[in-house]
């Protein structure tokens, strides 16, 4: 059952360590550390993503800036109280790590199987690109869920606009870091970074009742 749930959320990223390790927290005597990982796109833009890793995975490793690594794991979310408000924080939770020894064709991959938990929002950017914002709830072991923001583009954006809260979808894509500016109440403009999944492929998962209906329709008279 736990393995099945783990299959809902799979991440593989390869890049350069872009920050020193900093202590994050401890669970039952196991320490966890955070660092940033820089992952290049074909466009030469670099996504810089937060990673959380157990001290037990690190072992004797000295994970210094510039080290090239491959990480397999999951995209996790948690709430953090910042500036008087609860914020959704995303991190790549490492389950395995190794040194990068050769070029990887696709250094930033994610697969999620989750449920839409907020009405999709369709919009058009100033450059006339069609976008739909989604929020997916992805089940995790021990009755927990991760809440992952995602973006669909073009025809996928138009398709996702019609989806409902509770619909089960599978998505494939990459994790991106997107800088943006936020105007504070005092008028100050602050530079921030959003993390989200950029969807390249998606499908709706039909439940057993819908499959039965489809089977009935396909049966010859």
pLDDT tens for each residue of 33-75: 999 999 999 888 999 999 999 999 988 788 899 999 999 999 9
pLDDT at 56: 93
Q: Does residue 123 form part of some domain?
A: yes
Cβ atoms of 130 and 153 within 8 Å: the answer is: yes
Element (H, E) at 39: strand 30-40
Q: Does residue 218 form part of some domain?
A: no
Q: Does residue 219 form part of some domain?
A: no
pLDDT at 210: 53
Name beta bridge partners: 140. 144
**3-class SS at 128?**
coil
Q: Token pair for residue 30? A: 């196991």
The CATH number of the domain where 65 resides is what? 2.40.50.140
- What pLDDT digit, counting tens, does each position of 156-175 carry? 999 999 999 999 999 999 99
pLDDT at 105: 87
Q: Does residue 62 form part of some domain?
A: yes
Q: Could you give the CA distance from residue 141 to residue 5 in angstroms, rounded to a whole number?
A: 6
Q: Does residue 215 form part of some domain?
A: no
**What DSSP string describes 60-111?**
T----TT-EEEEEEEEEEEEEEETTEEEEEEEEEEEEEEE--S--S-SEEEE
Q: Does residue 51 form part of some domain?
A: yes
Low-confidence ranges of the chain (pLDDT < 50): 1-2, 209, 212-221
pLDDT at 87: 86
Q: Could you give the CA distance from residue 179 to residue 182 in angstroms, rounded to a whole number?
A: 10
Please count the structural domains in the chain: 1
Domain hosting 137: range is 2-207
Q: Does residue 212 form part of some domain?
A: no
Q: Does residue 21 form part of some domain?
A: yes
């Amino acid at each position: 059952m736990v393995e099945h749930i783990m299959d809902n959320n799979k991440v593989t990223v390869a890049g350069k360590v872009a920050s020193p390790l900093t202590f994050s927290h401890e669970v039952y005597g196991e320490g966890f550390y955070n660092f940033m990982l820089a992952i290049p796109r074909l466009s030469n833009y670099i996504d810089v993503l937060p990673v959380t890793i157990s001290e037990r995975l690190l072992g004797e490793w000295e994970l210094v800036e510039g080290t090239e690594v491959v990480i397999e794991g999951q995209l996790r979310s948690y709430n953090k109280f910042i500036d008087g408000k609860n914020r959704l924080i995303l991190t790549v939770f490492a389950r395995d790590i190794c040194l990068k020894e050769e070029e990887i064709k696709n250094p930033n991959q994610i697969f999620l199987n989750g449920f839409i938990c907020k009405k999709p929002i369709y919009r058009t950017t100033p450059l006339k690109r069609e976008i739909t914002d989604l929020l997916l709830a992805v089940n995790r072991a021990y009755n927990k869920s991760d809440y992952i923001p995602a973006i669909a583009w073009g025809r996928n954006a138009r398709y996702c606009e019609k989806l409902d809260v509770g619909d089960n979808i599978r998505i494939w894509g990459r994790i991106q870091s997107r800088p943006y500016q936020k105007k504070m109440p005092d008028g100050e403009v602050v530079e921030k970074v959003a993390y989200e999944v950029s969807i390249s492929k998606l499908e709706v998962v039909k439940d057993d009742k819908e499959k039965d209906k489809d089977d009935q329709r396909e049966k010859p008279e």
